[in-house]
Structure 1
Amino acid sequence: MILYVAWRRFKIVMSEQEETVDIKKKVISTGIRVGTQVKTKFMKPFITKASPEGLYMLDIDMTLAKINTSAKFINRLGAENIIVCSSRRYAEIPIEKFCEMTGAKKLLGRFMPGTLTNPSLPYYIEPKLVVISDPEVDEQALIEATNAGIPVIGIANTDNITSKLDIIIPANNRGRKALATIYWLLVRQILIEKGELKENESMKYEIDDFEAKITEEEIE
């Protein structure tokens, strides 16, 4: 009996390791770990090396670990109690898919001053958590959340300042495919944590479905 229990535990651990490897293979080519030519002291712990082109590379294992932590935190508070915001255009489709699948609320485009701090405004809201795609681009949301005592999860690149973030997801937060991958991974882990998706089960949408499309103007 003892040997059987030990064998079952071994199989479970091996299965989890295989799943992690498969996910890493799936996302490694999306640019999720490719940073910039600048690194801040805040992001230094998440950087593994510099590429021949001089771009700092982020640790994919730490990225996946932070996504797992974020998913647990989101589920604890309830996705319906969080807002996901970004002024970055390439983050709009990923966020829309994320909110569709989790029940979270989205705030896209310019973040209106007072949204989290001025109760007299008609658009004032009181979320339990704020998720942002870039601490620099979404600075207004980050400042207001901090002032209101609302925790913030933020996707941060190698050149970001992250002192006001409660949970840092180290990743490329500028690339279309990379942003799609981060939000896809986060949805997937949220559903797994809730027991609504198995580790080896496919989701309704794939990474490509989370990706913002290039317009004709951008092609030209």
Structure 2
Amino acid sequence: MEEKKLLVPEETYISCGAEIGTQQKTAHMKPFIAKVRNDGLYLINIEETDKRIRSAAKLLARYEPEKVIVAAVRHYARKPITMLSQICGFKAMPGRFLPGTLTNPNSENYHEADILLVNDPIGDKQAMAEAIKVGIPIVALCDTNNETRFVDFVIPVNNKGRKALALTYWLLAREILKARGEIKSDEEFQYSIEDFEAEL
């Protein structure tokens, strides 16, 4: 694997635990799994993670920023999705996703959206159910144990670890700004991975 082909060096993905999956594997996620460790933990193919972060960024960059909703119930994902949303102009919905947010125009929490990014199809099932109901596409960070039946675009990555989440959303933010032409190079991106890391 040539490092120049990756968004960050392979060592960065590994040190952040981006490739660490779970001890469960779904048929949907099988194409993204590189191998299984002796302790039964499945490892995600970093090249697939890298390629799909790139593609997801290009996809998300095509939408009006205020029409992109980013949802995450998981505690360690709340800061990274908030940072991503502040930098890219998206609407972050950290914590519990309130019913009716996408489906009930009479709700004070209602938000019209054209695309949804979720941190985990399991934890963020309320947001996914509403996106399915209104017919908008879903991009999701998916671990080895996720079902992807209703996900339109999968980003295969450790969607539970604090550092892995910081790295993933940091890369998405950087690549979205590049895709929009707001920055020309990686060096122009003024944030560090640590800026995206949730507190312990």
| TM-score, normalised by the number of residues in structure 1 | 0.85
Q: Structure 2 matches for 1:55-204, cutoff 5 A?
A: 55-201=41-187, 203-204=189-190
- Kindly tell me: are residues 138 and 21 of structure 1, through their superposed partners in 2, closer, same or farther at Cα, counting changes over 3 Å? closer
Using the TM superposition, give the Cα deviation of residue 27 of structure 1 relative to its aligned residue in structure 2, in angstroms.
2.4
Q: More helix per residue: 1 or 2?
A: 1
Question: CA–CA distance in 1 between the matches of 2:166 and 2:131?
Answer: 24
Hey, what's the Cα distance between the residues in 2 that align with 1:68 and 1:177?
19
- Alignment length (residue pairs): 199
C-alpha distance in 1 between matches for 2:169 and 2:163 = 10
- Shift in Å, 1:195: 2.3
**Offset of residue 22 of structure 1:** 4.5
> Which of residues 12, 29, 42 is equivalent to 2:15?
29
For 2:18 and 2:12, the matched residues in 1 are separated by: 11
Pairwise CA distance, 1:196 = 2.6
TM superposition shift of 1:17: 6.4
Please state how far the C-alpha of 1:114 moved relative to its aligned partner.
Answer: 1.3
State the Cα distance separating 1:19 from its structure 2 match: 5.4
2:194 to 201, 205, 208: 208
Gaps of 5+ in 2: none
Counterpart among 26, 45, 49 of residue 35 in structure 2? 49
Report which of the two structures shows the higher radius of gyration computed on alpha carbons: 1
What residue identity is the alignment partner of 1:173?
N
TM-score by length of 2: 0.94
Query: How has the CA–CA distance of structure 1 residues 79 and 17 changed in structure 2, closer, same or farther, with 3 Å as cutoff?
Result: farther
Preserved contact between residue 19 and residue 200 of structure 1 (Cα < 8 Å): no
Q: What SS class does the counterpart of residue 134 from structure 1 fall into?
A: coil
Asked whether the equivalents of residues 3 and 9 of structure 2 are also in contact (C-alpha less than 8 Å), the reply is: no
Following TM superposition, the consecutive aligned residue runs of length 4 or more in structure 1 with deviations greater than 3 angstroms are none
Structure 1: 5+ residue stretches without partners: 1-15, 215-220
Distance across 2 between alignment mates of 1:17 and 1:135: 30
User: What secondary structure does 1:40 align onto?
Assistant: coil
